[in-house]
């Protein structure tokens, strides 16, 4: 769906067109983002740098605009109700905080579809509730959520439609 693995069969239609992304960047640019189960932060860089990795704001066309990057990070975290310091090193955050940064990153793309792969695996009950509020807000803005989980109670709570796969089979 997002260009990580080549398709083996079938077709995917998004906004009336068949899609076949070769890269995740193509998917991101068309409005599909993903929160992976396995996090891949750059631990020695700041939260803001991780959040905007690959699309840092520039000033004068070539210099990183750290001030804007920080301001945009603060605005995004406020919008999502997250208490995260954009200046902190990613490697100093708990796994749960890193997961929330990844969620914020996916939201920052203004995606039409957000795929969440086991997003609550490292979250506390309070953080899960916060995530579900974010999901409800996204759904209210007509953002589709593909929620992958083994936690059936979560699936039944937040889903409008459910498809069950086992070993890749429908």
State pLDDT tens for residues 37-66: 888 899 999 999 999 998 999 999 889 999
Domain total in the chain: 1
How confident is the model at residue 101, as a pLDDT? 94
Q: Is 92 a domain residue?
A: yes
Cα–Cα dist 6/118, whole Å: 22
Q: Is 134 a domain residue?
A: yes
Cα–Cα dist 97/127, whole Å: 9
Q: Is 10 a domain residue?
A: no
Domain that holds residue 125: 31-158
Q: Is 150 a domain residue?
A: yes
Count the neighbouring beta carbons within 10 Å of the beta carbon of residue 147: 19
Task: Evaluate whether 109 touches 27 at the Cβ level (below 8 Å).
Answer: no
CA 34 to chain centre: 5
**Residue for token digits 């990795």?**
53
Cα–Cα dist 65/63, whole Å: 6
Mean pLDDT of the chain: 91
Q: Is 5 a domain residue?
A: no
How confident is the model at residue 6, as a pLDDT? 82
Q: Is 139 a domain residue?
A: yes
Q: Is 87 a domain residue?
A: yes
């Amino acid at each position: 769906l997002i260009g990580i693995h080549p398709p083996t069969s079938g077709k995917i239609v998004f906004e009336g067109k068949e899609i076949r992304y070769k890269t995740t960047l193509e998917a991101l640019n068309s409005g599909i983002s993903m929160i992976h189960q396995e996090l891949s932060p750059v631990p020695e860089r700041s939260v803001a740098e991780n959040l905007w990795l690959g699309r840092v704001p520039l000033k004068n066309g070539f210099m990183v605009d750290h001030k804007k990057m920080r301001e945009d990070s603060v605005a995004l975290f406020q919008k999502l109700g997250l208490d995260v310091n954009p200046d902190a090193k990613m490697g100093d955050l708990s796994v749960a905080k890193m997961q929330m940064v990844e969620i914020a990153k996916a939201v920052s793309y203004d995606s039409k579809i957000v795929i969440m792969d086991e997003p609550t695996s490292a979250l506390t009950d309070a953080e899960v509730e916060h995530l579900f509020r974010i999901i409800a807000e996204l759904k209210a803005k007509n953002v589709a959520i593909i929620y992958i989980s083994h936690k059936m109670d979560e699936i039944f709570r937040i889903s409008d439609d459910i498809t069950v796969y086992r070993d890749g089979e429908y």
